[in-house]
């Protein structure tokens, strides 16, 4: 598809790790995401013309969207350039894939302007180049669901492979975002270099049974598999009142609760919107009573990733 | 089903761990297995009347089949007992589930004599009681495929859950059994208590992608996922010429190679019987040239577990 008119896209927020899938699993959220506008230019490379909603570098080589976009233009040897507007709605550093949405959105949007679009796998691989600018290393657990939509499993990097898992479109999601800052780097450094063998085995069983539960749509197995013995026990200390919020999630009938990405946002899953709403209300009250600023969103798992909206 | 006549069953050999599924995965083999005969008696409990093919304890409480069988009779409060013949064809200590076949066969056979048979999950749980006599701890990665047939995933013990995975009935299996002794206990002790976090993550990705590959029947993903970074690097030193045999498997077009259970048998998978046959032939020659006794079997993954044959 080639176009001389503006293309406007939506790029969703995403939840990575999802307890049992550290550095592997992620899913796209419904209704929470950024917007980006793309137009072809004669000048080669990416030119960022406008950024709203956040203070981010306008120079393409310092901007995750610019880096990812240029990676795609170079990969296909494009004989044109792209002007890009970035309208951030996802708060930077919130843990729901803000930089990933910019990186994935950039390659997805530019792909719409190519005569021969590249595959979702290649788009995901290229958007990691932008992601690396933000986090210091290339990983795909947020960019993959942002591109593919739904729930994705990154099975490895050599060879690089992403599996689009069966939909979980009857699952409701609550996102709770306490306004504290956690650097991805700090969240990485808090993790031990070695873990008990028995935890490694349990972790593999959890992720494998999560995958099987989606193919079988076995709700009990689904709920049982959404556990994390590897990472959350260390990272939860970075989030105030984590254990209390987890208790609130259980009390309200939610089936899974954990850190979104490297935090500070927490995700919560339930089979009913009522459970999510009452959980969010009680959790927000807890933070406010303790003098902390917080946002809460109710959403669903979106079967769609980045998409053209105009 | 209740019967006063003899029931004869076949209980298959099984391959556990399968590289990416340590303590979780297993599959049943076609054509390699024990036979057992059961008849109801008025005397309560299990009485072992005959054992052929191996030298094993005749006292039920010292025999894995006796222990497993009594566990089932007690669990259902049976008002009868069972006489049992055990005809071993699977060599003890070979690493293809010899004790598991006895334990699983015992509960499967007795279940045929009950008016209200119990579930496969409960049979698997009870047969672990027999398995524990042989290995010192209760695990289900061999007994589960022996009961269910096909390929099974044990997702955890609390709650205890087994998933019957989609069939891989186009996959050929080679079993190579060098006649050396490896104690399960020794094979456990050689493993480190802690493993690198990055290996734990990779292991979870391998097992999860193996599961997805079966549901999608993605042959490339299937082959890529059958790796082991956790256990084989330690255990392979217990098996002479392991690395050379692996090279032979690759040279002959096989897609996966590894230790069966805790060894010493090795399994090898391919999409063609010719690949398995040429691999086995070359590997057997290697061992014989080095003065080691060895057996080799060509098989398939059996969709059936224990079954009544007379």
Q: How confident is the model at residue B139 (pLDDT cuts 50, 70, 90)?
A: confident
Question: What percent of the residues of chain B are helix, what percent strand, and what percent coil, each to the nearest 5?
Answer: 40, 25, 35
Q: Is B241 left (phi over 0), alpha (psi -120 to 50) or beta?
A: left
3-state secondary structure of A1: coil
Contacts of B191 (CB under 8 A, 6+ apart): A197, B231, B234, B235
3-state secondary structure of A266: strand
Q: CA A146 to CA A176: how far, in whole Å?
A: 20
Domain spans, chain A: 7-167+303-308, 172-300
Nearest CA in chain B to A25: B205
Q: How confident is the model at residue A4 (pLDDT cuts 50, 70, 90)?
A: low
CA-to-CA separations, A250 to A173, A276, A292, B152, B222, in angstroms, rounded: 14, 11, 22, 31, 37
Of A200, A221, A230, Cβ closest to residue B161: A221
The reply to whether residue B155 touches residue A207, judged by beta carbons under 8 angstroms, is no
**A-contacting residues of B 172-191, CB under 8 Å?**
191
Q: CA B30 to CA A87: how far, in whole Å?
A: 60
- Interface confidence, given as ipTM, is 0.94
Sequence length of chain B is: 310
- Distance, in angstroms, between A164 CA and closest chain B CA? 10
- What is the CATH topology of the domain spanning B7-166+303-308? Ribosomal Protein S5; domain 2 (3.30.230)
Q: How confident is the model at residue A120 (pLDDT cuts 50, 70, 90)?
A: very high
Task: Name the CATH architecture for the domain at A7-167+303-308.
Answer: 2-Layer Sandwich (3.30)
Q: What percent of chain B has pLDDT over 90?
A: 88
Give me the pLDDT at residue A1, please: 40
- Distance, in angstroms, between B169 CA and closest chain A CA? 19
- Residues from chain A that touch B205, judged by Cβ atoms under 8 A, are 24, 153-156, 207
Q: What is the CB-side half-sphere exposure of residue A262 using CA atoms within 13 A?
A: 19
**A-contacting residues of B 198-257, CB under 8 Å?**
199-212, 215-216, 221, 224-225, 230
The CA radius of gyration of chain B, in Å to the nearest whole number, is 19
The reply to whether residue A211 touches residue B208, judged by beta carbons under 8 angstroms, is yes
State the CATH class of domain A172-300.
alpha beta
What is the average pLDDT score of chain B? Answer: 94
Give me the pLDDT at residue B3, please: 47
Residue A144 in contact with partner chain B when CB distance is under 8 A = no
Give me the pLDDT at residue A134, please: 77
- Does A3 have pLDDT greater than 60? no
CB–CB contacts below 8 A, A to B: 138
The reply to whether residue B195 touches residue A194, judged by beta carbons under 8 angstroms, is yes
Rounded to two decimals, what is the model's pTM?
0.94
- The β-bridge relationship of strands A7-16 and A307-308 is antiparallel
The reply to whether residue A153 touches residue B209, judged by beta carbons under 8 angstroms, is yes
Give me the pLDDT at residue B4, please: 58
């Amino acid at each position: 598809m080639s176009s001389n008119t503006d293309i406007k896209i939506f790029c969703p927020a995403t939840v990575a790790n999802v307890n049992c899938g550290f550095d592997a699993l992620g899913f796209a959220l419904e209704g929470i995401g950024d917007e980006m506008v793309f137009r072809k230019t004669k000048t080669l490379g990416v030119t960022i013309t406008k950024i709203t909603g956040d203070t981010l570098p306008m120079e393409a080589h310092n901007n995750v969207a610019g880096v990812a976009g240029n990676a795609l233009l170079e990969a296909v040897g494009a004989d044109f350039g792209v002007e890009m507007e970035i309208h951030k709605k996802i708060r930077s550093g919130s843990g729901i894939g803000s930089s990933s949405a910019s990186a994935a959105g950039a390659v997805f949007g530019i792909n719409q302007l190519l005569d021969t679009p590249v595959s979702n796998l290649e788009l995901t691989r290229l958007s990691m180049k932008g992601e690396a600018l933000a986090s210091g290393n290339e990983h795909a657990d947020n960019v993959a669901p942002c591109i593919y939509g739904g729930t994705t499993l990154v099975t490895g990097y050599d060879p690089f492979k992403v599996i689009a898992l069966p939909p979980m479109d009857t699952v409701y999601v609550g996102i709770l975002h306490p306004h504290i800052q956690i650097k991805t780097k700090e969240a990485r450094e808090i993790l031990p270099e070695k873990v008990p063998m028995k935890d490694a085995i349990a972790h593999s069983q959890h992720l494998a049974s999560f995958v099987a539960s989606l193919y079988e749509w076995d709700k009990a197995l689904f709920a049982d598999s959404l556990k994390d013995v590897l990472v959350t026990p260390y990272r939860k200390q970075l989030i105030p009142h984590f254990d209390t919020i987890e208790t609130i999630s259980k009390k309200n009938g939610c089936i899974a609760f954990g850190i979104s990405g490297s935090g500070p946002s927490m995700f919560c899953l339930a089979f009913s919107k009522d459970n999510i709403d009452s959980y969010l209300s009680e959790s927000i009250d807890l933070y406010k009573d303790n003098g902390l600023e917080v946002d809460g969103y109710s959403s669903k798992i979106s079967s769609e990733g980045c998409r053209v909206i105009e």
